[in-house]
A and B are shown apart, each in its own frame.
Chain A
């Protein structure tokens, strides 16, 4: 058991690279973070920023071509050093995952109930009948109506929202300590997104699980997370408590992301802010700050030197920017 105040997950110096014919593509570079028991950490970034790869590496579900280094201490053991059999005992048990696209994440040829009960049977010495009863109970918990009948239906008989509920039921079947939700609402309708986030909130209340919420939707983060970390071009760019990020961001990239959220009460004539340009190639990164070409605040130094993750005012707020201490208050920058 953990000592009080100890982290549930402590990732230190995580690097993930993919060998390609053109060289090593660095998908995750020197990422360190922690998740405390019961808290929600949101990982935010554009596509290709390394947020999903980070999660897959923790579960060791990354492609075989990946090269990984670093440590990830979870409940006293280093996940990255675990063998296949030990890792299987962790997967779906103390760490469970909810994936992005519920339309493809369930096997089309087996019933939803079968697939959930498999997760129960994989980690518990119970009969199939008991596992089925637990499956029905789980489906009920995540708000699937008529769970007894629905359990024996196939995924194609479920709507997108119902499938994601089934995925969540599968993920919480063994009371995980950590739930990794990889863009759980991206593939869903807006109205269904809210329902799924509500289900996630309720099951966390029920199980007390911590959650790593991976998303590119800052609007989703605002209502759900305790802490936020922003990733860009395989690196952590900013990390901190949710209020520090939303109201006192010290990073031009985070600010640009915040500026690109559409506001309901803004004038119709205002153009939606987009960040100009594209993220850099992760092959042979240039020595300077990877966000430099798109940054509105860039100075001479940014082309030559990669900024370090700076601690801001001694709080648990870190930002990778040369100007982190000098940036104007966010209220003056954003409308």
Chain B
């Protein structure tokens, strides 16, 4: 399994390099960091030269990514001009902020999706199943910015007006007071979790249904096992196998920062800084976020594959 992991990591390196190269070129050719300076030339020749120097703009666009890569290998990801800090510092601080809403949202979504999948699969075509199906399509179709705003209005603005309880906040990260942080994080977590629960419970229902109707579940019942053991032990272990891939993708997507949800809640995560970094353009920041999310995606996909081997004894890594 160790050798397999190493091999998997090594095979993703060329993929990662090609992706980074293309993103660098893509951002470079679609934006012009010299735009502002061109207007004021020759008055601001000094600033113009500094930007040329900073991004190696005197070189071909196909060569420039190599300069960035040479620095990146030594751990120097450049400086973000949006944040005015080294990219690595920004990634670390904002990455933690993103994780603060990503991890609870992921856990909440995973547990809820699992419970709803089991419920829907066991009571296929019941009224409850239809209601959940309807709600999940609603959840899938509902954009994050609408759901986020609705939650803000109801829980952060109207609730204190009606009851005088200030439990939730519309967003921002103000204090280090733990209660206030929970109050701030709750609404974005619920927003993100809702979107994932809606999609995952559909998938989980299908996975669970396939297992519940299989022969070995009938065998388990024929042995006289309790229904609880049949479902939560025999069926769930099998239904988890396809769900693990989905969760790995979800979790890496969440950790990379959610652009819309973080923006709606003014939450200083990675997603929130991506848009200004792209507009500016803050090339080093964009590259930093891309490499960060790429590595996370690779790592979690690897974890998912290793988890398969634990869940399904038919899979061997060698």
Contact = CB atoms under 8 A, between A and B. Distances in A.
> Do A and B make up one complex?
yes
Interface of A: 59, 61, 84, 88-93, 96-97, 99, 101, 104-110, 115, 118-119, 122-123, 154, 156, 167, 170
Contacts of A93: 224
B311 A118 contact: no
Nearest to A157: B313
9 contacts: A61-B221, A84-B227, A91-B224, A104-B215, A107-B216, A107-B238, A109-B237, A109-B312, A122-B223
B234 A107 contact: yes
B219 interface: yes
Contacts of A99: 215, 218-219, 222
Contact of A109 (B218, B225, B227, B238): B238
A105 B221 contact: no
Contacts of A90: 224
Contact of B225 (A106, A108, A118, A156): A118
B313 A96 contact: no
A89 B224 contact: yes
A123 B222 CA distance: 12
A332 B226 CA distance: 55
Contacts of B313: 108-109, 154, 156
A97 B225 contact: no
Given A91-B223, A109-B241, 15 more contacts: A61-B218, A61-B222, A89-B224, A91-B224, A92-B224, A106-B219, A107-B216, A107-B217, A107-B219, A108-B313, A108-B314, A110-B234, A154-B314, A170-B219, A170-B223
B30 interface: no
Contacts of A156: 313-314
B220 interface: yes
A92 B223 contact: yes
A92 B314 contact: no
A135 to B, nearest CB: 13
Contacts, number: 73
B215 A105 contact: yes
Interface string B223-252: 111110000001001100100000000000
Contacts of B214: 104
Contact of B312 (A59, A108, A118, A170): A108
Interface residues of B, number: 22
A104 B311 CA distance: 18
A34 B217 CA distance: 29
B223 A118 contact: yes
Nearest to A108: B314
Nearest to B226: A88
Nearest to A84: B227
B222 A107 contact: no
B310 to A, nearest CB: 10
Given A154-B313, A154-B314, A156-B314, A106 B221 contact: no
B54 to A, nearest CB: 55
A15 B217 CA distance: 25
Nearest to A123: B224
B216 A104 contact: yes
A154 B241 CA distance: 17
A88 B216 contact: no
B15 to A, nearest CB: 31
A92 B238 contact: no
Contact of A92 (B216, B222, B227): B222
Contacts of B221: 61, 91
Given A88-B226, A156-B314, A107 B218 contact: no
Given A99-B218, A101-B215, A154-B313, A108 B223 contact: no
Nearest to B227: A84
A104 B214 CA distance: 8
A88 B227 CA distance: 9
Nearest to A153: B313
B269 to A, nearest CB: 37
A130 to B, nearest CB: 17
A90 B222 CA distance: 9
Given A109-B238, A154-B313, A122 B218 contact: no
Contact of A91 (B216, B222, B234, B314): B222
B239 to A, nearest CB: 11
B216 A106 contact: yes
A275 to B, nearest CB: 29
Interface in B286-313: 311-313
Contacts of A105: 215-216, 218-219
Contacts of A108: 216, 238, 312-314
Interface in B1-21: none
Contacts of A89: 224
A219 to B, nearest CB: 25
A174 to B, nearest CB: 8
Nearest to B235: A107
B223 A119 contact: yes
A167 B220 CA distance: 11
A110 B311 CA distance: 10
A101 B218 CA distance: 12
